[in-house]
Structure formats: structure tokens, C-alpha cells
Amino acid sequence: MAHIITALILIPLAGALFVSAARPNYSRGIALGFNAFTSILGLTLWRTFDATAAGLQLTERHAWIPAIGAEYLVGVDGLSLLLVLLTSLVVPFAFLAQRSGRGFCALMLIMQSALYGTFTAQNFVLWFLFYEMSLVPAFLLIKIWGGENRDRAATKFFVYTFLGSVAMLLSFLGIYFAKGTFDFGTLAVLGKSGLLTGKLAWLGFAGIFLGLAVKVPLFPFHTWLPDAYETAPTGVSMVLTGVLSKMGVYGFVRLLLPFFPNQIKIIGPWLLALAVCSIVFASLAAWAQRDLKRMVAYLSINHLGYCMLGLFAVTASPVVAAKIDMQAALSGVFMQIFNHGITAAALFYYVGLLEQRRGLRGIDNFGGLMQRTPLLCGWMSVAMFSSLGLPGLNGFIGEFLIFKGSFAIAASFTAVAVIGLFVTAIVFARAMQALFSGSLAESCSAFPDLFRSEKLVIVPVTLLMFAIGIAPQFIFNIFNTTVVQMTRLFA
């Protein structure tokens, strides 16, 4: 068990090499085989993890580049483990969503390796290496296999993310020159008394904030996302929304909030306002869309806005929060990170199925599907209700806890954010009415219902939505101790 995290990072890279050397028609099967292996390792990591112990576990530390303070330091706490498990679920789900050749599979596996590294690295140089490593395959997957306007969408994605990364790198260099370390744990302890002073502190804060806000994305840094998600192939959209966007939220929890608590308190209301704008404006933008993929993309921004609302309510509100409210909000954020990853990936999968059958994905291109494809409509409705936060499904738990904790700490901002819930309900109601109800559109009269292979993908994911919605304790157990520990750090 000593090197389980390193194995988790290296196995997808080995898979990428195998896929590159294999025959094209075997590439997806080989990729799925390596994914099965990483999933088993992820489950082994979960079983080995002691949920009652605080701090990092299963750490591996080796000297790497001593001259610049870079170490190979990996380890997991509750949040890291949660995101490792999410990656192990969403990536194979994405492979099953579409047929793919050698290059596509190899790039997806490299991106998977980068995600595992990002969620487990505990030294900035190593973390930044993995963080940037995810950017290149994502860019190539959009640019080579994307749809219409893929060049523009891929370039926009690359420029936004790269500029954010450069700003973050400069900030960390400033921190290193001031404190002489890149270690996250050490910097989090130093952050309580202030990592930097004066203008330097604000410049350091701004650089890291910009890099992470682009990645989430947080309003108004979100304009690259609808184009990238709309253009990307179905499987890539699933990974982008399901896991890659979580790198930004993870970065906020791991870096910005512990390192700059004083700066966050000072501009707290502005940060809360940005989170509320992400929730409300994104849901209104989703309402205006006629393209199903763009609609789901905007709703993804809306749901990640709930995560940012919970985080900023805990750390940025001028109100002195009770510990129980802080813990509720943080637990809600962690649960929402996991649930949104599954639900948003499922919604992109369903949109992909509709596009495969029709060749188009506009809301107006369908109608009366319930008469022709009742199974597809039924299962897709479950994913929509989950995204909406219907009790009994996984989406409800996280949203409820975020609102419960945030109302007690930042009531006025949270009250405005509720508008996003109402608009999201209208968006889904309109989509369901246009797609499933009414008379059967002539272009949909020959639609096949779900194939057996599609049912084998959909049923386990939907059962997981119900399992988390009805008995979520097995997920809470992963990160409860981490939440308590972080509450002490932020309090």
C-alpha cells in the first residue's frame, strides 16, 4: 500500500502508451481495461483510508528538485479521496459514451493521470505540473475531435486557462521568495498570520484567485466554457464538466482560502456577489439557449456557483458563523462537488444520445419522444430531476446543506441565489415539455429506444444517484473529519 497513489497516477500513463501501440479497433477496450484497474486501486485507497483520522494519509515523500524546494509529495485527505473516486467514475463513463480511436483514448488517459496527480499532490511545483498537464490533452481533444467552431473554442479555452495559470505561478513564486517553501500544509499554517504583507499580499491573492476562478469558472471568467463544452465531443464534455471543473473548486479549498484568510474577509461581500452572479446569470443564460449542450453547460456554471456560495459564506462572510453552520455549508460543498460531477456527466451523455439519433441537438429539433423512446425519456428525466435537486436523488443533499449553512451566515446573498433554483426548474420543465411531450416530430418517428449497451451504462449511474439521495452517509463518512478540520482552520 506504500505506493498506491503513485500507481494510480502512473497506470493511466502506461495505458496511454499501450493504446498508442495497439490496433485502432482495440484502443477503447484497452483504455477501459486500464480504467478498471485504476477504479480497483481507487476503491482500495478508499478501503485503506481511515475516515476518523485527521490530516493527510498514505503520504509519499521523496526529494525531487531540492534547489527550488520541489518535492514529490502526494497524499490524500477526505476531499482528495472524494475527487479521486469521482475521477475513477466519470472517466470510464466518458469512454463508454462514444466510440473512440487511438489518439482520443491516449489523450483521455493522460488527462486522467493529470487529474489524479492534481487531487493528490501536496507541493505546489508538483501540483502545478499536473494542473498544467491536464490542459494540453483537453485542448487537443477539443481542437482535433470537436464539432463546428472547434478551433476558436479550443484556442479560447487554452488562452483563458493559460493566462490564469501564469498569474497563479507568479503568485506562488512571490510566496516562495517570502517564505521559502512550496509545501501546502506549511503554507496553510503560515496563512493564519499572513503569508505576505501589504500590496504583495493582494497581488498574491489576485494571481491565485484569477487562475482558479477561470478554471471553475466563476462569473465573469466563464465565457470560454459554453463554447468549449458545446464543441467538445460528448465524452470530453463529460470529463470537462464532471472532473476538470472541480480542479478550480479544489484549488479554492486547498490553496486560496487557507493561504489568504485576511484578504478574503476584507473583500468577502464582493466574492459572495460573484458566486450569486454565477448562480443567477448562468441559469438565465441556460433559459435563453436553444442548443441542449449549451443549456447543460450554463447549468454546470450555475451548480458550481452553489459550491462557491457555500465556500465564500464560510470564509468570507463578515458574520461570525456558528461551527455547525460552517460544517453544514462545507459538507454541502463537498457533496455538491461529487454529485454535480455524476449528474452533469449523465446529462451530457443523454444529450449525446439524442444527437447520435437525430444528428442535431436543438430543443426545437425534437418532440413527442415519450411515445417513441419511453426508456430514454424516463432515465433522462431522473438526471434532470437530480440536477434540479429533487429530494430522494443525489442533487438534493448537497444543495440543501449549502443553503442551510449559507442562510445562517450570509442570508441576503443566499436569498438572491434561490432565484437560480427557480429559473433552473423552469429551464428543465421547458426542456422536458419540448423534448418529451406533444405530438411526435416527423424527424423522430424512426428513433430507436435505448440499446442494451446504453442501458448497461445508464442503470448503474442512475442507481448511484438514488443510493446517494436515499442513504448518503457512505459519502459523508469519507470527508466528515476533513470538514471538521477545515472548519477549525477557517474559524
Confidence of residue 419 (pLDDT cuts 50, 70, 90): confident
Is the model's pLDDT at 357 over the cut of 60? Answer: yes
Q: What is the pLDDT of residue 402?
A: 87
| pLDDT (tens digit per residue) in 365-390 | 777 777 777 888 888 888 888 888 88
| pLDDT (tens digit per residue) in 334-347 | 998 999 888 988 88
Q: Which amino acid is at 171?
A: S
Looking at per-residue pLDDT, the higher value among 301 and 195 belongs to 301
Other beta carbons within 10 Å of 65: 11
Q: Tell me the C-alpha to C-alpha distance, in Å, between residue 343 and each of 11, 104, 170, 449.
A: 26, 23, 35, 21
Confidence of residue 319 (pLDDT cuts 50, 70, 90): low
Is the model's pLDDT at 1 over the cut of 60? Answer: no
Is the model's pLDDT at 48 over the cut of 80? Answer: yes
Mean pLDDT of 354-364: 77
Mean pLDDT of 105-109: 88
Confidence of residue 116 (pLDDT cuts 50, 70, 90): very high
Q: CB of 299 within 8 A of CB of 427?
A: yes
Q: What is the average pLDDT score of the chain?
A: 83
Q: pTM, whole model, 2 decimals?
A: 0.90
User: How far apart, in whole angstroms, are the C-alpha atoms of residue 251 and residue 342?
Assistant: 20
Q: What is the pLDDT of residue 115?
A: 92
Is the model's pLDDT at 444 over the cut of 70? Answer: no
Q: What is the pLDDT of residue 145?
A: 81
Q: What is the pLDDT of residue 316?
A: 67
Is the model's pLDDT at 30 over the cut of 70? Answer: yes
Please name the residues in contact with 314: beta carbons below 8 A apart, sequence gap of 6 or more.
Answer: 321, 326, 329, 330, 405, 409, 487, 490
Phi (first) and psi of residue 71, to 5 degrees: -120, 155
Nearest to 117 by CA among 104, 103, 130, 105: 130
Q: Which amino acid is at 360?
A: L
Lowest mean pLDDT among 221-225, 398-402, 461-465: 221-225
Q: Give percent above pLDDT 70 in the chain.
A: 97
Q: Give percent above pLDDT 90 in the chain.
A: 2
Residue 333, all three cell numbers: 460543498
Confidence of residue 124 (pLDDT cuts 50, 70, 90): confident
- For the chain, the first-to-last Cα distance in angstroms comes to 35
Is the model's pLDDT at 318 over the cut of 70? Answer: no
Is the model's pLDDT at 491 over the cut of 70? Answer: no
Mean pLDDT of 260-269: 82
Lowest mean pLDDT among 43-47, 66-70, 316-320: 316-320
Mean pLDDT of 129-149: 86
Q: What is the pLDDT of residue 474?
A: 87
Question: Strand, helix or coil at 425?
Answer: helix
Question: Strand, helix or coil at 233?
Answer: coil
- DSSP assignment, residue 377? H
Q: CB of 258 within 8 A of CB of 183?
A: no
Confidence of residue 83 (pLDDT cuts 50, 70, 90): very high
Reported residue count of the chain is: 491
Q: What is the pLDDT of residue 291?
A: 83
Q: CB of 279 within 8 A of CB of 420?
A: yes
Lowest mean pLDDT among 285-289, 297-301, 359-363: 359-363
Is the model's pLDDT at 439 over the cut of 80? Answer: no
Q: What angle do CA 375, 380, 384 make, to 5 degrees?
A: 150
Within the chain, how many helices (H) and strands (E) appear? 23, 2
Question: Strand, helix or coil at 368?
Answer: coil
| pLDDT (tens digit per residue) in 291-315 | 888 888 888 888 888 888 888 888 7
Mean pLDDT of 124-137: 88
Is the model's pLDDT at 320 over the cut of 70? Answer: no
Please name the residues in contact with 393: beta carbons below 8 A apart, sequence gap of 6 or more.
Answer: 382, 385, 386, 465, 466, 468, 469
Q: Tell me the C-alpha to C-alpha distance, in Å, between residue 416 and each of 274, 275, 404, 445.
A: 12, 11, 14, 43
Q: What is the pLDDT of residue 114?
A: 92
